[in-house]
């Protein structure tokens, strides 16, 4: 046998593998490595490939012993996981005893004719015996769409098509101010100007795009007017240098613009692809019903998963939580980037939200592990037909040819695994909701 392995369960989510690769295997791999090195060895006085083995050993032995060390550990570790049916997550912590090579624990090389012994400590997917997952008492929210909600959508459509025209009156809330500004931090010695507090922009008054109180000071100003005022930065401002400090700004309004909304009539509706205003309102209602229906279902699923988490406590592998935290942070960062946040602003925002992201990530990992355990216990499987149906649905939603979706997953095995995992989770959630006691909200 090339190696032996002993497995210890040091905790529900930790396994310690003690692996011993036989001296014969070490020697065999070392000799093979030296033979490979001989084929490409280039030493003065010898033709390529004709260097004697004794000379190759003299010059390449250390490099080969180092390479064999890592190759044998990688190969034996992966084989041990498969043979012992260990579902490892994350990278293992590898340790080798100091006495092994006589050159210290961090030598990272094999000794000819001697066993290679190491320990690998790794996190594993916990075995969960899920309890109390049927008959859960849940309350399903009521889907409500009122006339005021529809009118809000219509107003949004009108607003999206509005024109900005110059106003010859003082600025008011809802106007757009084309302005130049400069500012600094108020100190005992006066106002310390800051380069980052200077610039020009067009700002919608009342949009709360800038620090609280700033936009209120623009109300009543006319084009060409300059005003100086002071406002405090919030105590939790993302730039720590400014947080809680008082700022002074000098603003000059170049131009005041107001929105000019289009007339709500059938002609306007047609420009947006509707038959008439009645059709626009009907489509708005359909959109709201669909959107709020999805919100109701998401809330029901969230309550279901939270109930399962509370009924089933278990240790969670840190590496899974860390991976999920990174994924959430990446999503948040991309959203902030699309909103125009700078890289520094994004870093500061993520740093302040890190604990919340970790908590969300842990809940998501717990929920996923619980659902996986239930799916296994209830023998919930998905077929190729289920996958094809989901791909067809995705193609319809994305308005692309189904063949493109199929081709994408055919070329991305990892993404296909993710899709299968999601379909199985959705199927499991549907099973649990069917088995729950659901009360409709009045």
Domain containing residue 110:
3-124
CATH number at residue 104: 3.30.70.1050
Q: What is the pLDDT of residue 36?
A: 87
At 377, the pLDDT band (50, 70, 90 cuts) reads very high
Q: pLDDT exceeding 90 applies to what percent of the chain? A: 77
The answer as to whether 142 is a domain residue is no
Same domain, 293 and 405: yes
Average pLDDT over residues 390-406: 93
Same domain, 291 and 196: no
Least trusted range by pLDDT, from 32-46, 98-112, 243-257:
98-112
| Cβ pair 2, 29 in contact under 8 A | no
The answer as to whether 157 is a domain residue is no
Q: What is the pLDDT of residue 102?
A: 41
Same domain, 294 and 429: yes
Q: What is the pLDDT of residue 98?
A: 54
CATH number at residue 180: 3.10.50.40
Phi first, then psi: what are they for 110, rounded to 5°? -90, 160
| Cβ pair 141, 220 in contact under 8 A | no
Same domain, 224 and 304: no
At 360, the pLDDT band (50, 70, 90 cuts) reads very high
pTM, two decimals, is 0.75
pLDDT in tens, 264-287: 999 999 999 999 999 999 999 999
d(CA 47, CA 52): 10
Answer with the one of 124, 150, 182 that is the final residue of a domain.
124
* Per-position DSSP letters for 208-273, written without gaps between them: --SSTTTGGGGTT--TT-EEEEEEEPPTT-SSTTTTT-EEEEEEEEEEEEEEEPPP-SHHHHHHTT
| pLDDT higher than threshold 60 for residue 105 | no
Tell me the sheet residues that pair with 93: 121
| Cβ pair 292, 141 in contact under 8 A | no
Same domain, 37 and 85: yes
Same domain, 285 and 421: yes
289, two tokens: 């019903």
| pLDDT higher than threshold 60 for residue 223 | yes
Q: What is the pLDDT of residue 38?
A: 86
d(CA 257, CA 170): 10
Higher pLDDT residue, 322 or 242? 322
The answer as to whether 56 is a domain residue is yes
Sheet containing strand 88-95, strands side by side: 3-11, 14-21, 116-124, 88-95
281, two tokens: 């309102």
Same domain, 208 and 282: no
pLDDT in tens, 320-339: 999 999 999 999 999 988 88
Same domain, 256 and 300: no
Same domain, 43 and 168: no
Query: What SS3 state is found at 11?
Result: strand
The answer as to whether 376 is a domain residue is yes
d(CA 27, CA 21): 10
Same domain, 436 and 329: yes
CATH number at residue 395: 1.10.3120.10
Same domain, 423 and 301: yes
The backbone region for 108, taken as left when phi is positive above 0, alpha when psi lies in -120 to 50, beta otherwise, is left
The answer as to whether 279 is a domain residue is yes
The answer as to whether 171 is a domain residue is yes
pLDDT in tens, 45-95: 787 777 888 888 888 899 999 999 999 999 999 999 999 999 999 999 999
User: How far, rounded to the nearest angstrom, does the alpha carbon of residue 57 sit from its chain's CA centroid?
Assistant: 49
CB under 8 A, 24+ apart: contacts of 324-328: 324/361, 324/362, 324/364, 324/365, 325/354, 325/357, 325/358, 325/361, 327/361, 328/357, 328/360, 328/361
| pLDDT higher than threshold 60 for residue 104 | no
Q: pLDDT exceeding 70 applies to what percent of the chain? A: 98
Same domain, 198 and 99: no
Answer with the one of 227, 260, 293 that is the final residue of a domain.
260
């Amino acid at each position: 046998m090339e190696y032996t392995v002993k497995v210890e369960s040091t905790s529900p989510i930790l396994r310690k593998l003690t692996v011993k690769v036989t001296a014969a295997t070490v020697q065999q791999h070392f000799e093979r490595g030296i033979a490979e090195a001989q084929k490409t060895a280039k030493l003065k006085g010898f033709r390529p490939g004709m260097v004697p083995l004794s000379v190759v050993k003299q010059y390449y032995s250390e490099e080969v012993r180092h390479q064999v060390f890592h190759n044998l550990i990688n190969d034996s570790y992966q084989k041990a996981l498969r043979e012992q049916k260990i579902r490892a997550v994350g990278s293992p912590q590898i340790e080798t005893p100091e006495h092994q090579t006589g050159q210290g624990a961090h030598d990272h090389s094999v000794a000819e004719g001697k066993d290679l012994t190491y320990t690998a400590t790794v996190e594993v997917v916990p075995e969960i015996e899920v309890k109390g997952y049927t008959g859960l008492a849940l309350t399903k929210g009521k889907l409500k769409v009122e006339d005021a909600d529809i009118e809000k959508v219509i107003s949004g459509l009108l607003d999206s098509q509005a024109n900005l025209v110059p106003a010859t009156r003082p600025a008011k809330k809802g106007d757009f101010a084309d302005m130049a500004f400069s500012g600094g931090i108020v100190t005992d010695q006066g106002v310390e100007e800051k380069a980052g507090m200077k610039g020009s922009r067009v700002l919608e008054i009342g949009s709360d795009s800038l620090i609280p109180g700033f936009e209120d000071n623009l109300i009543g100003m006319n084009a060409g007017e300059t005003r100086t005022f002071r406002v405090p930065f919030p105590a939790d401002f993302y730039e720590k240098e400014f947080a809680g400090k008082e700022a002074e700004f000098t603003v000059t309004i170049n131009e005041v613009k107001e929105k000019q909304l289009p007339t709500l009539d059938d002609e306007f509706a047609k420009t947006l692809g509707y038959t008439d205003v009645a059709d626009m309102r009907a489509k708005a209602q359909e959109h709201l019903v669909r959107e709020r229906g999805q919100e109701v279902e998401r809330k029901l699923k969230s309550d279901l998963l939270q109930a399962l988490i509370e009924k089933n406590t278990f240790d969670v592998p840190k590496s899974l939580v860390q991976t999920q935290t990174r994924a959430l942070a990446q999503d948040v960062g991309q959203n902030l980037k699309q909103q125009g946040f700078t890289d520094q602003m994004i870093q500061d925002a993520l740093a302040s939200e890190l604990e919340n992201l970790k908590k969300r990530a842990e809940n998501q990992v717990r929920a996923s592990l619980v659902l996986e355990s239930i799916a296994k216990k209830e023998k919930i499987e998905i077929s190729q037909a289920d996958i094809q149906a989901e791909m067809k649905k995705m193609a319809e939603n994305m308005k692309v040819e189904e063949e493109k979706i199929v081709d994408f997953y055919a070329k991305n095995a990892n993404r296909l695994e993710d899709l299968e995992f999601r379909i199985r989770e959705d199927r499991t959630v549907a099973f649990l909701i069917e088995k729950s006691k659901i009360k409709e909200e009045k």
